Structure 1
Amino acid sequence: MKKSYNLIIFILIASSVLSCSTKKDSVINRNFHALTTKYNVLFNGEQAFEKGLKNIENGYVDNFWKRLPIEPIKFDERNANLIKFSSPGSGFDGDGGSDNSVPATPFDRAEEKAAKAIQKHSMNINGYEKNRKIDDAYLLLGKSRYYTQRFIPAIEAFNYIISNYPKAALIYDTKVWRAKSNIRLENEKLAIESLNLLIELDKNEKNLTPLQRQQAYTAMAMAYEKTDTIQKVIDNLAISTSFLKNHQSARNAFVLGQIYSELNRKDSARMVFRKLADEKWVPEKYRIHASIEMVKNIEAKDSSNVLLVDRLRKLIRNSDNRKYLNELYYQAGVLQEDRGNTEKAIDFYLKSLEVPSRDIYQKTYTYEKLGNIYFEKQEYLLAGSFYDSVLKATTEEFETEKRIRRIKRKNKGLTKLRAFEETVTANDSVLKLVAMSSDERTAFFEGYIEKIKESDEKKRQRLLNAQDFGSQFGGGSSFGGGNNQGKWYFYNSQSVGFGKVAFQKSWGKRPLEDNWRWSDKNEVGSETEEEETVQTEKTDSRYVVETYLKQIPSDPAVINKLKVDKNEALYQLGLIYKEQFKNSTLAISNFEKLYAINDKPELVLPINYHLYQLYDEIGEEEKANEKKDFILKNYSDSKFAEIIRKPNSKITESKKVDEIDKKYRLVYSLYKHNQFEDVVDQVDNLSAAAQNSELIAKFVLLRALAIGKYKSKDEYKKALEFVALNYANRIEGKKATEIIKLLK
């Protein structure tokens, strides 16, 4: 009996060992390894792969302001989550591996499991694979490599399936994935050829499932998109949307609508987007943005504008669309602006900015729209602040866009404008105070202090009201109340804020020290409580007239500097408005203000000439003739008078300038070719016209640099000192000064 029992045990052990063999072709072996592959190793790999796809789906953010990529994934070498991985196959032998062998991503884990399935359970006997699940392992291996940006190894896995399992059920999926890998490797022609063969074969045999057809046409559209064959992209996207109602179908349709919009085929775009917006099976983000795109593709005078306004209002009122409110408000603003309702548009744009959102890119468009509106209204300072906001919100990814570069150029002039306007305003205010009598100054600041006190009192009352309101709802800081048990005063930020304001109101800013109540420590205890309060109130410098009076400059040099800076700012403002912004009205205003207070004789002529041009431009002939006569009478020998008498003299002058410029280029070329003695000789023999030109400082500096190349240090220094002394206020003079400091 015992011998029989042992024999049975031996047979069971032997059969289980034999069934584990991958070299014996038997029903038991094939099924054992197929089941083990499917429900053990491969199952875990597929779970890891699905997790990786989920991570991509959750992490990928679509930018609906640009054409969406057909496949929602972005391969980026800087993204460590995609490219950092250990070598698959490590730790297979049960050693558990080290910490360094842990796969970096779910796709690495999936690849590891696929490789393990092939290594442990492949039954390749006499050139034929007997394990029917190994082709699934190879497909998982290729797809995992695709998502870790290793496209060539992925193609190797796909090719192995196509070569060794030509009749496998997943052969069509494999061909599509191989084509996608070739597209990523920029082998679009090869991908198109293989996909064409697959599609033509399906037309005859009808072997592909609807999902496989959708994937094939989607991959074909991706390939043609890389080759910029846009009509082919349209054709394949349109076909791909007809098989299934799933996420990819909605995405393909949305991209199709965007392409129609780019091609200015507005009717086709609206038709696609309307269908997406009205279909309930379409994912929410595509439905909402389809409604937005319908607005973008409508003509300003189209009668359907009214219907779109109602549609947007319904979407805005729907609480389920809260995360899209910033875009909905923005598009409502665009619609109102197109209809000429600028004030309503501004209101919608501001509402869009108020909505908390992570979509910084969308905010740049809103800021730009507001900047453009105020620029058109000639409110340049406000426009500049909105353009500043665009540039602050712009990330590195979008800095090179034409739109952003254009805003940068536009804002550059506005930044200068803002600086000059601030100079004029600030200096003008100070100069007005300088011109006041002592009594007038005192009265002015007493009124100003009263306004400060009134503002502080309103703030204090608001904080007090907020504290009382919080106390009524259990948020106060009163002690002994049952509702406030355990709620200390300093846990309530409103109470603390009120306390700080109230303390500074009564005591001013006091250092943390003994006898902090007393301003004068030598007289502690000598004042009454009433005198103490008066004393401390006076310590708040904002409420003391003397604080402001002593800041008014009295030094004539300082006052003169304020005047000079103000006049220079007015002149520059006039030029900016005239030349850059083509705003004749504001240019005239600034030049006239300057003319009225100008005390520099050298500015009289240019101011009058600019005013002559501006008045002539806007058709005020009387004032233009007045300025013209003034120049011709008082500055008849000037070049401005010559231009007025002979407008063609501008050409002569420009020719002279061109000749001098060519001369400088020649001398600079000699310097670059190390012909330093020739440089010195050329500069020493400059014509009278060149010596009186704006480029003379450049010539002289170039001469000094040439001397430094072949003469002594003393001679070099002497030449530099000549430049530094004679052109101290110019860039060339400052550069020479820097070099002299270095030589010392």
Structure 2
Amino acid sequence: MKYTKKIVLLLSVFTVLYSCSTRKDTLISRNWHALNTKFNVLFNGQEAFKKGVKEINDGYKDDWFQQLPLEPIKFEEDKIIIPNLNSGMGSGFNDNKKEESKATTPFGIAEEKAVKAIQKHGMNINDLERNRQIDDAYFLLGKARYYEQRFIPALEAFNYVIATYPDANLIAETKIWRAKTNIRIDNEEFAIESMNLLLKIKDTLEADLPEETKEHGYTTLAMAYIKADSIQNAKKYLIKATDILKDRNQGARNLFVLGQIYSSENKKDSALLAFNKIINFKKAPYKYKMHAHIELAKNATNDSTSAAILEKMYALIKERENRPYLDELNYQIGYLHEQNDSIELAVDFYNKSLRAESDNIKQKTFTYERLGNINFQNSEYLAASAYYDSILNIAVDTLNLRFRRIKRKHRNLASLIDFEKTVSKNDSILRIVSLPKSEQEAFFQKYIDDLKKKDEEAAQLKLNQQAFGDTFGGNILKSNKKGKWYFYNTESLNYGKAEFQKIWGNRALEDDWRWSSQINSNITDNDSITVNKKSSRYDLASYLKTIPTEKEKIDSLHLERNEALYQLGVIYKEQFKDTKLAINRLERVASLNPNKELILPINWHLYQIYTNLNNDIKAAKHKNIILTDYSTTKFAQVIKNPNKPIKEEIAVNKIEELYKEMYYLYKEDKFDETVTKINEILPTIQNSKLIPKFELLKAYAIGKYKDKEAYKIALDFVAVSYGNTEEGKKAKEIVNQLSK
């Protein structure tokens, strides 16, 4: 009897297994494989796929200063994998895969599960698939490959579904994904054609497409048209997609991109409508709402709109949940104030933007740039240069047009800053030189006293940090028993006692126990607040020795300062068109008894400036100097014949001869004479293409008889003023070598 039961049981098991074979077209077999595919293999694959998409969305950082991509994913341009032509079945499901290798990424796992479903549960009987879940497996396979940037194998999977399962319920979604994949391989024309067939002619067995599918399709069409640079068509389908708004993430993104397109076209009203729609879209993710508020500020059309938006921005700043956006909000408030000519308020909010905790480097570069431009416009060139320098120090992508412009501006300021520093340094030295001995001693003694005070404060701060910062509070926090109060935590209490004795020793319970005189020998000399009174830092005699006393050295300081002042005057006049500072520097150098070769060009530049300002009295003063003392020069001839067209005063061949003369002077080691002669020649050849050659030769001569700093300043002037010439490039190359 028992033997019979065993036989019946074995036969039953065999019958069930046989009926569940992938080669048997039975009801049990179809349902068994469909259920296993859906709720076992595909379920795990789809969960892995969702995880991968979530990781992409969480890790993707939008550049809100650029038009957002419609799909928040960044693909590497050169990472398109060529498929294995022997993949079999036309589906490419075993593309370059080895059975023994195990996937580790979410999309790799999703692909692995899809392949497993196809291989183990596929029921292709008489060229007809009997497992209704296999089309879902191929669909998942294509999507996983899409996100892995394996577009050609992804296309194979999508095409296989479309060709093999034309009646599948996901056929429309598969065609949309196929179109997206074609866009990625620069085949946007096919994507547009296939999407038009799907959405316009309704190339599907269903009467109508679901709203979610339509939204996805319109978004894909907009992607294709953006790729094809057909912005008007892209707008058309973005509008259709944003009329549906079933997908909260994609819908908000579509609205934002639509608003950005309107803004780029200067259609402010349409842009405002799009961004307001995001704000009123309850399901929109918060980041889109916040940046929609910021975009409203960028697109304010009039004062009343600006005032209302400004009030809203103030309210947003006060909300705790908006702390991650404080840098952007403060920047935008600053920008609105700047547009309203409230410069002080603008600067205040720009600085608040910089102080806000944020890892948004690009936002910081824009804030630094605004502050740099404000200082530049206010003739605060040193501060402007510092802000531009900050941009170049933190910027990641410095190759685009914006950063090249900033680099050029910063480079132009570099020589100006060097000249200003030279003037400031030499003025300080010469002022000290002019003081009586007693005042010199008083000056440096005050400096030493201030230095001692700062050193003592720094030493005391370090001591306090060692006693109560690094040990008392810092290491205790690392205790595993963080939940207990300090004095109830035996471990922390014992540690604290040991550290106290290590630093302070055994102290009696008395007042003023922390005075430095009570500190035990465990405190190192470096930590003591008592400074070394014999340090050279505090030696008055060592400072007095640095004051130059030789006449040659003092005269050199005067000459260097005057040359820098003259160069500053020319730079402010010619490059920055800042007549106020140009007059200031040129008038000052004129009052300092400059070298003879500077007098004529100084008066000429001042004559030109005052003439342009219609200040006839001061223009006449400098004109008379030129006509009286330099009547035979070309400058005097130009003044006497103002209506005569200014042509190149000297013929080209004559200029070449002059250059040869200067070059021979230079080769004869007459460097001082070379510089003097070139300074006399330069004003007379203002329109000549050979000016850069003269300037570079002058810089070489300066480098031969002056110090390295003067040589660099002269080369900087050539590099900045004639940067596009061979001479300018050569000067820049030498400056770079000198700076190493």
TM range (shorter): 0.7 to 0.9
Q: Tell me: CA distance 1:432–1:26, structure 2 relative to 1, closer, same or farther (3 Å).
A: same
What's 1:366 paired with? 367
Quote how far apart the aligned CAs of 1:72 are. 0.7
What is the TM-score when the length of structure 1 is the normalising length?
A: 0.78
Cα distance between partner residues in 1 of 2:30 and 2:363: 58
Is 1:628 aligned to 2:630, yes or no?
A: no
Quote how far apart the aligned CAs of 1:116 are. 2.1
Instruction: Please tell me the residue identity of whatever aligns with 1:357.
Output: S
What's 1:588 paired with? 583
Deviations 1:7-44 (A, max 9, x none): 22331342244245322211222122222222222222
Bigger Cα displacement from structure 2, 327-336 vs 227-236: 227-236
What's 1:70 paired with? 70
What's 1:262 paired with? 264
What's 1:487 paired with? 496
What's 2:15 paired with? 15
The answer (yes or no) to whether the contact 2:197–2:203 under 8 Å persists in 1 is no
The answer (yes or no) to whether the contact 1:433–1:552 under 8 Å persists in 2 is yes
What's 1:691 paired with? 657
Q: Tell me: CA distance 1:475–1:33, structure 2 relative to 1, closer, same or farther (3 Å).
A: closer
Cα distance between partner residues in 2 of 1:725 and 1:238: 65
What's 2:543 paired with? 548
Quote how far apart the aligned CAs of 1:439 are. 1.4
What's 2:434 paired with? 435
Is 1:230 aligned to 2:196, yes or no?
A: no
Instruction: Please tell me the residue identity of whatever aligns with 1:254.
Output: F
Quote how far apart the aligned CAs of 1:558 are. 3.4
Cα distance between partner residues in 1 of 2:364 and 2:697: 49
Quote how far apart the aligned CAs of 1:724 are. 11
Deviations 1:376-433 (A, max 9, x none): 221111111111112222212xx23332222222222222211111111111111222
The answer (yes or no) to whether the contact 1:89–1:115 under 8 Å persists in 2 is no
Matches within 5 A, 1:657-668: 657=652
Q: Secondary structure at the match of 2:632?
A: coil
Instruction: Please tell me the residue identity of whatever aligns with 1:286.
Output: Y
The answer (yes or no) to whether the contact 1:37–1:121 under 8 Å persists in 2 is yes
Instruction: Please tell me the residue identity of whatever aligns with 1:28.
Output: I
Bigger Cα displacement from structure 2, 3-12 vs 269-278: 3-12
Instruction: Please tell me the residue identity of whatever aligns with 1:32.
Output: W
Cα distance between partner residues in 2 of 1:476 and 1:19: 69
Matches within 5 A, 1:302-341: 302-341=303-342
Q: Tell me: CA distance 1:545–1:488, structure 2 relative to 1, closer, same or farther (3 Å).
A: farther
Deviations 1:96-143 (A, max 9, x none): x3xxx3435321221222122212221111111111111011101111
Q: Tell me: CA distance 1:618–1:210, structure 2 relative to 1, closer, same or farther (3 Å).
A: same
Q: Tell me: CA distance 1:688–1:405, structure 2 relative to 1, closer, same or farther (3 Å).
A: closer
Quote how far apart the aligned CAs of 1:206 are. 4.0
Quote how far apart the aligned CAs of 1:332 are. 0.9
Cα distance between partner residues in 2 of 1:411 and 1:27: 78
More RCO (CA 8 Å, sep 6+): 2
Cα distance between partner residues in 2 of 1:604 and 1:142: 80
The answer (yes or no) to whether the contact 2:369–2:391 under 8 Å persists in 1 is yes
Cα distance between partner residues in 1 of 2:63 and 2:699: 57
Deviations 1:270-328 (A, max 9, x none): 112122223332110011111111111113x4212222122111110000111001101
Cα distance between partner residues in 2 of 1:51 and 1:449: 65
What's 2:388 paired with? 387
The answer (yes or no) to whether the contact 1:446–1:545 under 8 Å persists in 2 is yes
Q: Tell me: CA distance 1:281–1:688, structure 2 relative to 1, closer, same or farther (3 Å).
A: closer
Bigger Cα displacement from structure 2, 238-247 vs 423-432: 238-247
Matches within 5 A, 1:499-538: 537-538=532-533
Deviations 1:311-354 (A, max 9, x none): 11111000011100110111111111122211111111100000
Cα distance between partner residues in 1 of 2:584 and 2:455: 38
What's 1:572 paired with? 567
Matches within 5 A, 1:175-254: 175-202=175-202, 206-245=207-246, 246-254=248-256
Q: Tell me: CA distance 1:475–1:230, structure 2 relative to 1, closer, same or farther (3 Å).
A: closer
The answer (yes or no) to whether the contact 1:470–1:476 under 8 Å persists in 2 is no
Q: Secondary structure at the match of 1:487?
A: helix
Cα distance between partner residues in 2 of 1:123 and 1:468: 77
The answer (yes or no) to whether the contact 1:468–1:476 under 8 Å persists in 2 is no
Cα distance between partner residues in 2 of 1:501 and 1:365: 49
The answer (yes or no) to whether the contact 1:224–1:233 under 8 Å persists in 2 is yes
The answer (yes or no) to whether the contact 1:387–1:411 under 8 Å persists in 2 is yes
Q: Secondary structure at the match of 2:178?
A: helix
Q: Tell me: CA distance 1:540–1:506, structure 2 relative to 1, closer, same or farther (3 Å).
A: farther
Q: Secondary structure at the match of 1:538?
A: coil
Quote how far apart the aligned CAs of 1:572 are. 1.4
The answer (yes or no) to whether the contact 2:338–2:346 under 8 Å persists in 1 is yes
Cα distance between partner residues in 2 of 1:595 and 1:493: 67
Is 1:42 aligned to 2:42, yes or no?
A: yes
Cα distance between partner residues in 1 of 2:432 and 2:473: 51
Q: Structure 1: where are the runs of 5+ without partners?
A: 518-532, 658-686, 702-722, 739-744
The answer (yes or no) to whether the contact 1:117–1:137 under 8 Å persists in 2 is yes
The answer (yes or no) to whether the contact 2:20–2:28 under 8 Å persists in 1 is no
Q: Tell me: CA distance 1:309–1:637, structure 2 relative to 1, closer, same or farther (3 Å).
A: same
The answer (yes or no) to whether the contact 2:19–2:29 under 8 Å persists in 1 is yes
Q: Tell me: CA distance 1:24–1:492, structure 2 relative to 1, closer, same or farther (3 Å).
A: farther
Cα distance between partner residues in 1 of 2:543 and 2:322: 53
Identity among equivalent positions (%) equals 46
What's 1:295 paired with? 297
2:554 to 526, 551, 559: 559
Is 1:604 aligned to 2:603, yes or no?
A: no
* C-alpha RMSD over aligned residues: 4.1
Cα distance between partner residues in 1 of 2:138 and 2:155: 11
Q: Tell me: CA distance 1:725–1:579, structure 2 relative to 1, closer, same or farther (3 Å).
A: closer
What is the TM-score when the length of structure 2 is the normalising length?
A: 0.79
Instruction: Please tell me the residue identity of whatever aligns with 1:430.
Output: I
Matches within 5 A, 1:69-148: 69-77=69-77, 90=97, 92=99, 97=100, 101-103=101-103, 105-148=105-148
What's 2:410 paired with? 411
Quote how far apart the aligned CAs of 1:91 are. 5.6
Q: Tell me: CA distance 1:653–1:157, structure 2 relative to 1, closer, same or farther (3 Å).
A: same
Quote how far apart the aligned CAs of 1:193 are. 1.1
What's 1:639 paired with? 634
Quote how far apart the aligned CAs of 1:48 are. 1.6
Quote how far apart the aligned CAs of 1:596 are. 2.2
Q: Secondary structure at the match of 1:68?
A: coil
Cα distance between partner residues in 2 of 1:171 and 1:697: 81
The answer (yes or no) to whether the contact 1:467–1:476 under 8 Å persists in 2 is no
Q: Tell me: CA distance 1:79–1:587, structure 2 relative to 1, closer, same or farther (3 Å).
A: farther
Is 1:420 aligned to 2:392, yes or no?
A: no
What's 1:663 paired with? none
Q: Secondary structure at the match of 1:63?
A: coil
Quote how far apart the aligned CAs of 1:628 are. 0.9
Q: Secondary structure at the match of 1:653?
A: coil
What's 1:450 paired with? 449
1:285 to 284, 287, 293: 287
